[in-house]
A = this chain, B = another copy of it.
C-alpha cells in the first residue's frame, strides 16, 4: 500500500514540490470533492483517511472513510453506484482531494437516489434562508437498495 510522508512545514515545498504529502486533520482525514468527469457537476463531498486515499489511487475506485460508521467505505458497495476515478487532483495546502469520476450503476451518487447530494438551492425569502429542491429525480429507490432500516 502507498505510504504518505508527513507534510513539510515549509509552504514552498507543500505547494511546489512533486511530493504528495496530504495534510490529514486531527481525525486523520482530508476532504474529498467528487465531480462527474462528463460535465463537472458536483456530486458529493466526503472524507478520506490515508487508507482510503491509498486504495483510491491504487485501485482507481473511490474509497472514503465513513465518519458515521467509523469505517473504510468503498463507494457503491451497497448501491452498485461505484465511482471509477478518471483524474485525481490535490489543492495547494494538500488538505483537499478532487476526484473526477464516472458513476456506475444507477448514475446516482446521493443516498436519496438523486444524481447529486446538492439537489437543493438556498434562497433568501423575506430575510430567512430557505432551501428549494431543484432536482427530485430519483434514479433508484433508497428503501429497496439500502433496506428500510
- Asked if residues A124 and B92 are in contact (CB atoms below 8 Å), the reply is no
Q: Is A84 in contact with chain B by the CB < 8 A criterion? A: no
Q: Is A66 in contact with chain B by the CB < 8 A criterion? A: no
In which size bucket is the chain A interface?
Answer: 35 or more
- Cα A17 to Cα B131 with chains together (Å): 8
Give the residues in chain B near A88, CB-CB below 8 Å.
Answer: 121-122
- Asked if residues B121 and A89 are in contact (CB atoms below 8 Å), the reply is yes
- Cα A58 to Cα B97 with chains together (Å): 30
Q: Is A20 in contact with chain B by the CB < 8 A criterion? A: yes
- Cα A20 to Cα B17 with chains together (Å): 41
Give the residues in chain B near A132, CB-CB below 8 Å.
Answer: 18
